[in-house]
Amino acid sequence: MITNIEKQQELEKEVLLLMSYKDKDEKLKNIVKEYRIKQLLELTAYLLDRGLRAKKYSEYDLEFMIKELLSARVRCLHNDYNWFWTDEDKQRLSMVNGEIFTACEKGFKEAFATAELLERRIKKRDSFLKDYEMEIKITSYPNICGASREATDTVSGFLGEESLPEAVMRISHCFFRKFTSDENEYKHLFIKKSTSWNTKHYSKNFPDINICYLVHRMMESSVWSYHDILSIRRIWVDVKVTYQYYRNIPRKSVG
């Protein structure tokens, strides 16, 4: 029976081999193409762990190799994107899409309500509050197809951050009116139900689903497979507020 240390050594050798071909695209793709889904995820989880703990690999190398492995996994799961959407899949997609849209709606509603309170304090010349910064963050976590629980915890965190970069929005006192206006582009992106991101590629498969922006980003991503999107069980919405007071101390006058 192979020990955990031996397994780590095997993965390290495989990673070093892959890194040696990072400037030879065809050779790298041919090697990665032979991996099974489980191997792709094991290597990805190992790279993430090693890269974060030991900083052994450069940030560029780490990001490049992880995307290469996850993209190969997506191609494998999609059979080169020849995916057939069943009625059950469509129903599940509609449910996940609706839940993510609701999460966005709730996050922005909470942020705007809090900002309104802070704006009133600033308007009344509050003794402390002069400015604020607010961050709205929506992250979805899938049950990764083909992964162990340990690999899932490692990889799903990366998938969430990687595939939802536009799920993080920031509001401050200076930009409050811009963010709350009806014409604001972010409101149209995230919380306008009549806006659909159902591209031509998917319109024939599910014309009745108004795909929200974040699901659109996931479906177009090179690291999320359709399996992953359909397996989402958990959505986190964070609204973080930083209250700010500042004061400039005048220089001592000369003479």
pLDDT tens-digit map of 179-206: 666 556 566 566 676 777 877 777 778 8
pTM, whole model, 2 decimals? 0.78
For residues 96 and 230, the answer to whether their CB atoms sit within 8 Å is: yes
Q: Cβ(235)–Cβ(131) under 8 Å?
A: no
Nearest in space to 147 (alpha carbons), one of 37, 6, 7, 1:
37
Helix (H, G, I), strand (E, B) or coil at 36: coil
Residue 152 token pair: 């899932």
DSSP state of 34: T
Write down the pLDDT at residue 121.
93
Nearest-angstrom CA–CA distance, 92 and 231: 9
User: How big, in percent rounded to 5, are the helix, strand and coil portions of the chain?
Assistant: 55, 10, 30
pLDDT beneath 70: ranges in the chain: 1, 51-55, 80-81, 146-147, 149, 161-167, 179-191, 193, 253-255
